[in-house]
Amino acid sequence: MARFNASQFRSQMNRIQSQLRQAESKAKQAARDYNRAVDNYNREARAHNARVRANRARLQQALRQLQSQPTVTTRFVTHRTSVQSVQQSFIRLETAADTGTWADNRDLLDLAEGEAAASAETLNALLTERADEIAEDEARLRDTTITNELLDLGGDLDSRWRGALFALSPRNPDAARHFCTSTRELLTDLVDHCATDAEVLVANPSAPRTDQGSVSRRARIMHRLALRGDASIELAEFVEVDVDEVITLMKEASDGTHGPVGRLDTFELKVFKARAEGVIKFLHRVLR
């Protein structure tokens, strides 16, 4: 049996006490890390729940207002149908999340709900009677909340957006037509740019195609969602319907400038621009 002298015994005890202190320190640090993680999770959960409540309130308020709008109107008739398609598509997406048929990303569901609300709010703004508003100067009308979103997606998308904004002058009788036509083309090309025919067909040679032979917009969107791990038939449908709604709005507004509706006012130009900015930001979050 090994024998320890007093010096060796003290040395051994000091080593054991040091190990105990280290173990205690690690345990305390682990507890602090755990508590910090719990606090962060709770804070993020509260923030997420607040966003969900805000978007739900926005959507419900917008739908109530839309139901109170006159059902007979000669303005934005086609757009009203496309807005209804967005709402129906969101219901299917939400049902898929609630029933577990989509392993849902709650942030994406929250974003989609915000888009559904924005869609209804835009139509409400265009249909609601309002007093004449003071025209804004050109600089403010051309301001945009789009920052680096289109630059992140690459290509010439950002410069084309800036070009569309340049046409937004209250003194320009063709402002709506120029802006809406440019924005329609931009949104179409944005989706095409995020997922080219070649990229989609490498991943899925049997991807659906259009009558012209190119990959369908739905297939492009599904490809991008799959790359980020969020593939969902319902989500892909919602993104496509949302884009189609804005394209429909832009087309109807552009066509209206040639008919009895005539020149669109500054308020309407602001509404079109805000809706376009919203869908661009949504696509940036979903497809990049």
Q: Which domain holds residue 155?
A: 52-67+75-128+137-287
Considering the domain boundaries, does residue 42 fall inside one?
no
Q: For residues 269 and 248, what is the distance between their CA atoms, to the nearest angstrom?
A: 15
Q: What is the pLDDT along the chain (288 residues), one digit of tens a residue?
A: 556 677 776 777 778 888 888 888 887 887 777 777 666 655 655 555 556 667 778 888 888 887 887 665 667 888 889 999 999 999 999 888 888 777 667 788 889 999 999 999 999 988 886 655 555 566 678 889 999 999 998 889 999 999 999 888 767 778 888 899 999 999 999 999 999 999 999 999 999 999 999 999 999 999 999 998 888 899 999 999 999 999 999 988 877 554 433 456 778 888 999 999 999 999 999 998
User: What is the tally of structural domains in the chain?
Assistant: 1
Considering the domain boundaries, does residue 164 fall inside one?
yes
State the alpha helices, DSSP H only, in the chain. 6-68, 77-99, 106-127, 138-142, 149-153, 157-166, 175-194, 197-203, 217-227, 233-256, 266-287
Burial label for 287, CB within 10 Å (0-12, 13-18, 19+), is buried
Contact 190, 153 (CB under 8 A): yes
Residue whose C-alpha is closest to residue 76's, from 238, 254, 237 = 254
Q: What is the pLDDT of residue 259?
A: 43
Considering the domain boundaries, does residue 271 fall inside one?
yes
Considering the domain boundaries, does residue 192 fall inside one?
yes
Predicted model pTM: 0.76
Task: Dig out the tokens for 81 from the structure.
Answer: 């149908």
Considering the domain boundaries, does residue 8 fall inside one?
no
Considering the domain boundaries, does residue 87 fall inside one?
yes
Considering the domain boundaries, does residue 100 fall inside one?
yes
Considering the domain boundaries, does residue 1 fall inside one?
no
Q: What is the pLDDT of residue 275?
A: 95
Model pLDDT for residues 217-240, shown as the tens digit of each residue: 999 999 999 998 888 899 999 999
